[in-house]
Amino acid sequence: MTKRNQAVGGYGERCAVRHLIEAGMRPVARNWRCPSGEIDIIAWDGPVLAFCEVKTRRSATFGTPAEAVVPRKARRLRRLAAAWLAATGTTADELRFDIVSVLLPRLGRAHVEHVKDAF
């Protein structure tokens, strides 16, 4: 990944966190890593623990950012969530898997869309 792509992704994640906080969610972890991969954001939405995949794009030429979360990525996020729960000892009555889509136009503010229970 190029430095420019890393910068775009980092900016998108900051936009996503700000959006989730404004929506009343409480982030508990960002960029949690283990040998199997990374979870972008983990946040409480009331009693529900949400594992969020953030996808950021500079244009929708090749589809929306959310469309980049293919079934393989969804399965991986589920495995990573189980690893995080085991590693932290966290329990929750309900888990949810969300996508936070961030589209960065050439001019103006980022467009953030939060898809709850995406998969």
What's the pLDDT band for 55 if we cut at 50, 70, 90? very high
Tell me what the mean pLDDT of segment 2-14 comes to. 88
First CA to last CA distance, the chain = 26
73-90 pLDDT, tens per residue?
999 999 999 999 999 999
Does 8 have pLDDT greater than 90? no
Q: Looking at the predicted structure, is the pLDDT value of residue 1 above 80?
A: no
Give the strands of the sheet with 94-103, arranged side by side.
26-34, 37-45, 48-57, 94-103, 111-115
Question: Regarding the domain delimited by 3-115, which CATH topology (the fold level of the hierarchy) does it fall under?
Answer: Trna Endonuclease; Chain: A, domain 1 (3.40.1350)
Task: Render pLDDT for 28-40 as a digit per residue (tens, 0 to 9).
Answer: 999 999 999 999 9
Q: Where are the chain's structural domains?
A: 3-115
In the predicted model, what is the mean pLDDT of the chain? 95
